[in-house]
Amino acid sequence: MKGPIVEEVKYDHNVVSSLSHSLEDSDEKRELIMDYPTDYVIYYSKKGKTANTYEVYVGETNNIGRRTLQHLDDDPRERKDWERLANVDEVKMLVIGHEHFNKSLTLDIENRLMLYLSSVDAVKKLNNRRSNSQNKYYTSTEMEKIFTKLWRKLNKQNQELFPLESIIREKAIFKASPFHSLTKEQSVSRERIMDKVSEALKEEKRGQLIFVEGEAGSGKTVLLSSLFYLLSTLETDVSMRNYLLVNHDQQLKVYQEIAVKLGLTKKGDGAVSKPTHFINTHSPNDPVDVILVDEAHLLWTQGKMSYRGENQLVDLLKRARVVIVIFDKHQTLTTEEYWEDSEMDELRESAKRQNNLIQLRNQMRMDADPETVEWVKSMVYDRKLSNIPKDSRGYDLKIMTSPENLENEIRKHVSDKEIKENGLSRMLATYDWKYIQQKHPDNGDEYWNVEIGDWKKAWNLQLKQSKEEKRNNKSLSWAEQPQTINEVGSTYTIQGFDLNYSGVIIGPSVKYRNGRIIYDPEASFNSKAIQNRTLKDHSKIKVADELLANELNVLLTRGMRGLYIYAVDEELQSKLLQLQKEKDYQ
């Protein structure tokens, strides 16, 4: 099989003659470009202070000449993005052909180009109106190889617009992109949800709840992102009002960048925001069409700061025709997010009765045997420590003898080569060391630290950055910022994100006594998890045991290829090392 053909020409009315001229030495190439299906990338660049930025359009066609003339002559009358491209000088066009291209394959390549280019820092605007991921077809098994060869070729032409494939794949925005190919489970779920939304809007229903549940790594974020893109690009008689909300600062930055880059929203219009902002700026008297809530287990169930209500989900249901929530009860982390069982059961059962309960069962984050995943779950929730399984897929689950060894193990996975191939690795810890935001320690230290004996590292987002570093890191999640290899992350910065390898320090709030894991609130500095929860009847209960288990679950399920553990509690560490030794001698 020959490689892809890439021809660059000026984007104007002379595209056909320009292509014919550049391909005049090869009848075969000219035929593949001019007479067969092709993909194309139209782009222009603006010079910035430190680097160029790009506006890009990606498409596919059966006739590149006719399609280009449509873009130049017809599309500008109806769409501002095409009008802008038609009036800018020095717009370039890359036309891509291959001997095995057919309609389905070019659609798949188009979708993959959208996935990658939407994750490129230099691309500030990416224009398209559809997501075209295909199912199986005659040449579908060749797509991955063809695309990798194509991207390498594009990278040689323009490294700024087409960075190394491995650099793109590590980005948080890539992992949350709406252009990922959906699994069968995700695809069926999306179709069900879209049918439900359509039905609710036609019948002018109000406060319809669609409840999507799944554990960490089940593909909830990709499904939500895909739904938001699909709803935002639907061509309807009346413009739909759709909102994406999340109570997680790091994830919010990612969604806002995606929305602005893809033209789904304008910067600052609140279409992608926090629930409190939405509730305070919208009235129940004027309901929007659809609200999508990621990490809905982080919604507040009591008043706090600028939120004066009692339950954010209830308030959202009053302000929308349809509310789609992505929920994982094992990722509720604070008392202000805590749901009384009766409340959650009532909402879940209500959704179930209306056939609005969507369950995602496939675990896709940890590239591990089911036995390995079950070992982690059993430790966290069954409070049991069993034999550490040998993983046939090569998942590296290892107990470390000290925090220094844990750090050294993580640093083995931070070479440029490994980051490019597999992604980022970082240290994490349970919230068992003091940290007060926007305040310095009173012991003279410059940072709040995770400290064990002579070893200490700054808590997340503590290390000082230059103005240039701050500017470069502005849109990056915690793990993506280069200096964070010298910090320790918490649930508040890593929840919702993947790592290649994670090194987890289990602090003194997790202990091992009488053959069981126990959670000790007295040893935790996570005040939001250990304070009493006031119930609707005004009684107070302690829910720290449940919330500290969830905290540990979030930390232990971040690593895709490996998990390294060190426990501060002597009995827990001793038991874990014993199990590690038994595993090594198997």
Q: Return d(Cα 324, Cα 327) in angstroms, integer.
A: 10
State how far the Cα of 343 lies from the Cα of 297, in Å rounded to an integer: 13
**Amino acid at the residue 232:** S
Q: How far apart are CA 171 and CA 530, in angstroms?
A: 33
| Residue 458 Rama label (left phi>0; alpha psi -120 to 50; beta) | beta
Strand partners, 93: 9, 42
Pairwise CA distance, residues 193 & 184, whole Å:
14
Q: How high is the pLDDT of residue 133?
A: 59
Q: How far apart are CA 101 and CA 238, in angstroms?
A: 37
With beta carbons less than 8 A apart as the criterion, state whether 547 and 334 touch: yes
Q: Do residues 559 and 539 lie in contact, with contact meaning Cβ atoms separated by under 8 Å? A: no
Dihedral sign computed on CA atoms, order 425, 431, 436, 442: negative
Q: Which amino acid is at 121?
A: D
Query: Which among 500, 517, 512 has a CA at the least distance from the CA of 553?
Result: 517
Contact 460, 473 (CB under 8 A): no
CA distances from 131 to 17, 53, 179, 182 (A): 31, 24, 6, 11
Type of residue numbered 550: N
The alpha carbon dihedral of 409, 415, 417, 418 has a sign of: positive
Task: Please give the single-letter amino acid code of residue 65.
Answer: G
> In this structure, is the dihedral angle defined by the CA atoms of residues 363, 368, 371 and 373, taken in order, positive or negative?
negative
Q: Give the containing element (helix H, strand E) for 97.
A: strand 92-97
Classified as helix, coil or strand, 542 is coil
Residues with Cβ within 8 Å of 214's Cβ and at least 6 positions away in sequence, in order, are 220, 326, 328, 359, 360, 361
- Angle formed by the axes of helices 15-22 and 27-34, to 10°? 150
The string of DSSP codes covering 344-362 is: HHHHHHHHHHTT-EEEE--
Q: Residue 97: its pLDDT value, please? A: 95
3-state secondary structure at position 535: coil
Q: Are 230 and 190 in contact (CB under 8 A)?
A: yes
Tell the burial category of 373 from Cβ atoms under 10 Å away from its Cβ (0-12, 13-18, 19+).
buried
CA pair distance 562, 29, nearest whole angstrom = 46
User: What whole-number distance in Å separates Cα of residue 555 and Cα of residue 489?
Assistant: 9
Please check whether residue 172 is in contact with residue 254, taking contact to mean a CB–CB distance below 8 angstroms: yes
Q: Which residue, 331, 498, 493, 345, is CA-closest to 424?
A: 498
Q: What is the pTM of this model?
A: 0.77
The C-alpha R_g of the chain, in whole angstroms, comes to 26
Among 435, 452, 412, CA closest to 573: 452
Q: What is the DSSP letter of 390?
A: P
HEC string of 233-289 equals: CCCCCCCCCEEEECCCHHHHHHHHHHHHHCCCCCCCCCCEECHHHHHHHCCCCCCEE
pLDDT for the residue numbered 308: 85
For each of the domains in the chain, give its residue range(s) and CATH number, in order of start: 5-169 (no CATH), 184-360 (3.40.50), 370-584 (no CATH)
Per-residue pLDDT of the chain (586 residues; tens, 9 = 90+): 478 999 999 999 999 999 989 888 888 899 999 999 999 999 999 887 667 899 999 999 999 999 999 999 999 988 888 888 888 888 999 999 999 999 989 999 999 999 999 999 999 999 876 655 556 666 778 888 999 999 999 999 999 999 988 788 878 898 889 999 888 999 999 999 999 999 988 888 888 999 998 887 788 889 999 999 999 888 776 778 999 999 888 889 889 999 989 888 876 678 999 999 999 999 999 999 999 999 888 888 777 778 888 889 999 999 999 999 998 888 878 877 777 766 777 888 888 988 999 998 887 688 999 999 999 999 999 999 999 999 999 999 999 999 999 999 999 998 877 877 778 999 999 999 999 887 888 888 889 999 999 999 999 999 988 888 888 888 788 998 999 999 999 998 998 788 999 999 999 999 999 999 999 999 999 988 888 776 666 677 788 999 999 999 999 999 999 999 999 999 999 999 999 999 988 7
* Cα–Cα distance measured from residue 23 to residue 65, given in angstroms and rounded to the nearest whole number: 14
Phi-psi region of 298 (alpha: psi -120 to 50; beta: other; left: phi over 0): alpha
CA 217 and chain centroid, separation: 11
Backbone angles phi, psi at 290, to 5 degrees: -135, 135
**Strand, coil or helix: 480:** helix
Structure confidence at residue 131 (pLDDT): 58
The answer to whether residues 411 and 402 touch, using CB atoms and an 8 Å cutoff, is no
**8 Å CB contact between 240 and 290:** yes
Determine contact, residues 556/330, Cβ cutoff 8 Å.
Answer: no
pLDDT on residue 167: 82
Q: What is the Cα–Cα distance from 106 to 134, expressed in whole angstroms?
A: 10
CA distances from 522 to 36, 237, 335, 541 (A): 69, 58, 16, 16
Specify the pLDDT at position 476.
83
Count Cα neighbours of 138 within 13 Å in the Cβ-side half-sphere. 6
Q: How far apart are the first and last CA of the chain?
A: 46
Task: Give 26's DSSP letter.
Answer: -
- Cβ atoms of 450 and 433 within 8 Å: the answer is yes
How many residues are there in the chain?
586
Q: CA 316 to CA 209: how far, in whole Å?
A: 10
Complete DSSP assignment for 192-203: HHHHHHHHHHHT
Phi, psi of 265, deg, nearest 5: -160, 160
